Amino acid sequence: MAEFSPTKKKRRKTRRGSMDHPYMSSSSGSLIKELQCSICLDVFTDPVSTSCGHNFCKTCLNKCWDNSQTCNCPYCKETFKHRPDLKINTTLRELVDHCKKHEVLKKAEVLCDVCEERKLKALKSCLVCQSSYCETHLETHLRVAGLKKHKLINPVSNLEDYICQKHERPLELFCRDDQTIVCVSCTDGDHKNHNTVSLEETQLMIQDTQQMIQDRIKKIQDVKHSAEVRKINTEREKAARVELFTDLIRSIERCQTELLEMMEEQQKAAEKQEEELIEELEQEITELKMRNTELEQLSHTEDHLHLLQIYSSLCSSRNTRNWSEISVKTDESLETLRRALTKLQDSLQEKLTQTVSTELKRIQQYAVDVTLDPDTAHPDLILSDDGKQVRDGDIRQKLPDKPERFDRYSNVLGKEGFSSGRFYFEVQVKGKTDWTLGVARESIDRKGKITLTPSNGYWTVWLRNENEYWACAGPRVSLCVRVKPQRVGVFVDYEEGLVSFYDVESSSHLYSFTDQSFTGKLYPFFSPFLNAGDKNSTPLIITPVKHNK
């Protein structure tokens, strides 16, 4: 057993309190991979950093830029207006040198300390014995109970770096308070009551930290990519909006031109009519003056009967118009304006429909699968087996009075709640005279009297009495609905504080709650309302989203 006694070696002093410890070398392999230049795919030589946070060999990056007309990051493609003045990242260079040194130490062949004639390659090193053993001499450590407790590690040539210089015991712990590697005996002395963890845990911490770094690097890339996509989409949307408003301006200008031309034509026609009337009047005045002269000449006769006969003859020989029935129109332009504005309104409505249709295509990509939650349904409600339909029943069901169940009004929530992002769903309301749809906060009061307002956690619209549409905005807002909706779409953007309602089939916007502040989860909200005989017995149906074409 003598060959297993710790070999007494001259130990070099190490700097306790530094993280530069051989135990850390097990992570240096993965770290080396992170210290590779993405251009030459080798470990950094004179590493430099760009303003976007990526690192390269100085020579590699200079060559890359020398062969290009623009200076951009080879990794993320960010473009720099001016060629950066590259400075060596000294901290990164020291880290690279450190890892290279440990790689060399790791690759160096360690020989068995027990072999006498021909030294065999060591399989493990023992921190307690402070010796390295080949496969043959390691056998006792694997068999003898007392030696099984010894700390074995992969063979290293610098075992002294793994031993506490003060207590001659393996360095197995890391003191978080002093950022120092210590042995068990240290925790009874200078590091008593300090926060210590095993080196294995430290390794996990390092790996977790490295993973966090990689996750954040990837997140930066994702954010930059999202920003780039958003920029492209914004430019596309701006172009579309400019085109839309240009078309609207042209429509208004065309309408204005047509209106003015029509008014001009009407003015000319009216002037022509007035001239003709004046000419006719002047002609009749001339004829009447002539008649008057003749009558004055005849008035001197004493034969009155003959005078009347002559007067009757003069009157019958000339046809005069009844001018009391003739009038000149002065307000015709008002009717012309009304027709022009109606035409413009139709054009604007067409553009608005096209815009809403495009908007629906965009938001329908956020469609989610909504299923009704029976635990929240009022006892009067009948839910389909697949949880996609709900109607008011004639008989109240005997159901457990759960805290989440509505007990006074015929309401039900969806099973799925959403606390971030965007979501969209559609509900068929065809054939119904009354209904309520929208979303509700998870924390709403579901017992007793309920007032549907945003301040109470409800964002809803409803139909009452077949054709009265209202947004429950507190106070309610009457909605102008051109066509009776058959299918209603509900869209929520949690971060934007937006809840919008659409008539899907006519591609029209019904109402939007904007600038809302959401807290907690939002759930789809449904109320088929009460049956009125045969009226309103049709169920609300959650339908699959059919993307508009």
Give the number of other Cβ atoms within 10 Å of residue 343's Cβ.
Answer: 15
Per-residue pLDDT tens digits for 184-232: 889 988 898 998 888 777 667 767 777 887 888 888 888 888 888 889 9
Instruction: Report d(CA 138, CA 131) in Å as an integer.
Output: 10
CA dist 328 and 320 (Å) reads 19
Which residue has better confidence, 311 or 72? 72
Residue 380: pLDDT over 80: yes
Q: Is 411 exposed, middle or buried (0-12, 13-18, 19+ CB in 10 A)?
A: buried
pLDDT per residue as tens digits for the range 239-253: 887 887 888 888 888
Q: What does the pLDDT read at residue 173? A: 87
Q: What DSSP string runs through 492-545?
A: EETTTTEEEEEETTTTEEEEEE-S----S-EEEEEE----BTTBT-SPEEEE--
Q: Residue 546 and residue 360: Cα distance in Å, rounded?
A: 11
Cα separation, 14 vs 20, in Å, equals 9
pLDDT of residue 168: 80
Where is mean pLDDT largest: 22-31, 282-291, 310-319, 323-332? 282-291
Mean pLDDT on 134-145: 93
Return the sign of the alpha-carbon dihedral for residues 400, 402, 407, 413.
Answer: negative
| pLDDT for res 220 | 87
Alpha helices, DSSP H, located in 177-331: 199-298, 304-316
Residue type, 39: I
- Residue 122: count other Cβ atoms within 10 Å of its Cβ: 24
Peptide bond into 528 cis (omega under 30): no
Query: Is residue 444 helix, strand or coil?
Result: coil
Amino acid at 30: S
Q: Indicate if the pLDDT at residue 15 is higher than 60.
A: no
User: Average of pLDDT values for 21-27?
Assistant: 46
CB 313 within 8 A of CB 291: no
Mean pLDDT of the chain: 83
Map tokens 């001018």 to a residue. Answer: 323
Of the candidates 422, 389, 412, the residue with the CA atom closest to the CA atom of residue 491: 422
C-alpha 175: how far from chain center = 44
Distance CA(58)–CA(45), nearest Å, equals 7
d(CA 401, CA 378): 10
Distances (CA, A) of 52 to 59, 219, 220, 251, 519: 18, 13, 10, 47, 35
Quote the tokens at residue 517: 């502040």
* Confidence band for 19, pLDDT divided at 50, 70 and 90: very low
Helix (H) or strand (E) holding 363: helix 332-363
Element housing 59 (H / E):
helix 58-66
Give pLDDT, residue 482: 84
Q: Quick one: which of 405, 411, 418, 457 has its CA closest to 437?
A: 411
Going by C-beta distance under 8 Å and a sequence separation of 6 or more, which residues neighbour residue 220? 53
Listed ranges 227-231, 354-358, 414-418; the one with the highest mean pLDDT: 414-418
How many Å apart are CA 189 and CA 187, to the nearest integer? Answer: 5
Contact yes or no for 491/502 (Cβ under 8 A): yes
pLDDT for the residue numbered 549: 53
Q: Regarding predicted confidence, which is higher, 515 or 171?
A: 515
Measured between alpha carbons, how far is 255 from 173 in angstroms, rounded to an integer?
84
- The residue with tokens 């299918």 is 487
pLDDT of 417 strictly over 80: yes
Q: Is 331 exposed, middle or buried (0-12, 13-18, 19+ CB in 10 A)?
A: exposed
Report the alpha-carbon distance of residue 458 to residue 476 in Å, rounded: 12
What one-letter code names the amino acid at 182?
V
pTM: 0.50
Give yes or no for a contact between 430 and 487, defined as CB atoms under 8 angstroms apart: yes
Q: CB neighbours of 141 closer than 8 A, spacing ≥ 6?
A: 4, 124, 126, 133, 147, 148, 150, 152
Per the rule left: phi > 0, alpha: psi between -120 and 50, beta: everything else, 529 is left
Could you tell me the two tokens for 3?
A: 């060959």
Q: How confident is the model at residue 95 (pLDDT cuts 50, 70, 90)?
A: confident
Measured distance CA(518)–CA(441) in Å, rounded: 8
Instruction: Give the per-residue pLDDT at 122.
Output: 92
Whole-number pLDDT of residue 7: 39
DSSP assignment of 292-320 = HHHHHHHTT-S-HHHHHHHHHHHHHT---
CA 33, 39, 43, 47 dihedral sign is negative
Task: State the average pLDDT over residues 426-448.
Answer: 95
State what percent of residues in the chain have pLDDT above 70. 86
